[in-house]
Amino acid sequence: MTNFKTAKMMNRERKLKLSKRQQISSGSVSALTHSSSGNSLKRPDTTESLNSSLSNGTSDADLFDSYDDRDDEGEAGSVEEHKSVIMHLLSQVRLGMDLTKVVLPTFILERRSLLEMYADFFAHPDLFVSISDQKDARDRMVQVVKWYLSAFHAGRKGSVAKKPYNPILGEIFQCHWTLLPNDTEENTELVSEGPVPGVSKNSVTFVAEQVSHHPPISAFYAECINKKIQFNAHIWTKSKFLGMSIGVHNIGQGCVSCLDYDEHYILTFPNGYGRSILTVPWVELGGECSINCSKTGYSANIVFHTKPFYGGKKHRVTAEIFSPNDKKSFCSVEGEWNGVMYAKYTTGENAVFIDTKKLPIVKKKVRKLEDQNEFESRCLWKDVTYNLKIRDIDAATEAKHRLEERQRAEARERKEKEIQWETRLFHEDGECWVYDEPLLKRLGAAKH
């Protein structure tokens, strides 16, 4: 109840500053859990159109879809405005406390799910697919590192750090990016399988699923058929209170697979930190990460450096890339993961490795809300997103609370009926979560 009181405190403050906007209707959220009657849905039907109207009374899906764009986030004052609410929240937690079960105030939420944020790893899809274009194993490793280091800045847009929605168990997010050129017969041919059926083979397609609630684990997968490359990953987010910061430990790993070369690059993820939570929050990454290809023997060590208390730069990153059996790297990279990174080679060559400011961000394509299934991210969170957009924090909090209560009720029902939750698109394989129908499997089946 403490968390709900915090939300109430915040609502009273908000009412003094904003006129009361249209309240969200109390329509129920569609069931998220699988039916026990035998007609459970294992794979989303991407051709089915849900004739849904929004809870705010509008059926304009085009207008609603724009609410997921974050180009107008200018809300730097929101944290300062609600400082007393945050102070009340901080009084309820202690240093080192696991924040998994702590409900944070709605006004600090980013208007999208964590599953959608993971899609930003592919905001530069051309860098991802170009890994398989390299003819030499050494060049492929360098390109993997280049894509990896470019994968973090797009997901942390804006000057104020905000927290994405915690995905609901069974929640799905799908999208794709179309690559250029896209005018040849080969590139216009459509795919019939994979994460997003019905798009060009010259696309990077992506799907993510919340496969576990306790602990919170997200699995995601991407592929490009034309380039015969795929990526599979899972991340368990474990957050802790660190005083004036919040730390998020990203436990898990990813795997880039170049199918033409039978190469698999295993990589890990940095931790995230929300700093200055009482003033203007900002995000930094920290920790040591690695990339290893067992077949070729090439490897890389990457360090995301946290800013020292006094002096030092924000967002600093360094990387060392090694040839097989060499203890001395042939390439050293240094710079800022959200800025410019420079490479120094043992050959004496010095060059810009990546300039994230100049890299064009390719906008992901997502099916319109009216065409989405009820368990897809934007459809699930539509009421929260809409009301955050119009800054009706009361209604956003109510919508979020209903979703969370629905999830708890469904968990209780499954426990009472001794029903095991079944994931939709991923399965557990040892300590990893793997996409059911990866490109490697489908191409192998096509040969026989």
Residue type at 153?
A: H
Helix (H) or strand (E) holding 17: helix 2-17
Cα separation, 446 vs 448, whole angstroms: 6
Query: Any idea what the Cα angle at residue 309 is, between residues 304 and 312, rounded to 5°?
Result: 60
Cα separation, 232 vs 208, whole angstroms: 10
Cα separation, 59 vs 53, whole angstroms: 4
Cα separation, 269 vs 251, whole angstroms: 7
Helix (H) or strand (E) holding 232: strand 229-241
Cα separation, 115 vs 378, whole angstroms: 10
Cα separation, 338 vs 81, whole angstroms: 28
273 phi and psi angles, rounded to 5 deg: -135, 130
Number of alpha helices (DSSP H) and beta strands (DSSP E) in the chain: 12, 17
Q: Are the CB atoms for 182 and 200 separated by under 8 Å? A: yes
The number of C-alpha atoms within 13 Å of 334 and in the hemisphere containing its C-beta is 5
Q: Residue 169's closest CA among 371, 327, 406?
A: 406
Q: Are the CB atoms for 371 and 49 separated by under 8 Å? A: yes
Residue type at 359?
A: L
> Per residue of the chain (448 residues), what is the pLDDT tens digit?
444 444 444 444 444 443 333 333 333 333 333 433 333 333 334 333 323 333 333 334 444 444 454 444 444 445 555 555 555 555 555 666 665 656 566 666 788 999 999 999 999 999 999 999 999 999 999 999 999 999 998 866 655 567 889 999 999 999 999 998 755 556 678 888 999 999 999 999 999 999 999 899 999 999 999 999 999 999 998 887 777 777 888 999 999 999 999 999 999 999 988 777 767 777 889 999 999 999 999 999 999 999 887 878 899 999 999 999 999 999 999 999 999 999 999 999 999 999 999 998 889 999 999 999 999 999 999 999 999 889 898 899 899 999 989 999 999 999 999 999 999 999 999 999 999 999 999 998 777 5
Determine the pLDDT at residue 186.
Answer: 64
User: Which pair of structure tokens corresponds to residue 149?
Assistant: 């280091």
Cα separation, 165 vs 401, whole angstroms: 12
355 phi and psi angles, rounded to 5 deg: -120, 95
Please report, in angstroms and rounded to a whole number, the separation of the first and last CA atoms in the chain: 58
The DSSP secondary-structure symbol of 439 reads H
Cα separations in angstroms, 85 against 7, 82, 104, 106, 421: 8, 5, 10, 11, 36
Cα separation, 11 vs 342, whole angstroms: 47
The stretches of 66-108 forming alpha helices (DSSP H) are 77-81, 83-90
Pairing of strands 316-322, 331-336: antiparallel
Q: Are the CB atoms for 126 and 103 separated by under 8 Å? A: no
Q: What is the DSSP string of 386-406?
A: HHHHTT-HHHHHHHHHHHHHH
Q: Helix, strand or coil for residue 49? A: coil
Tally of CB atoms within 10 A around 43: 11
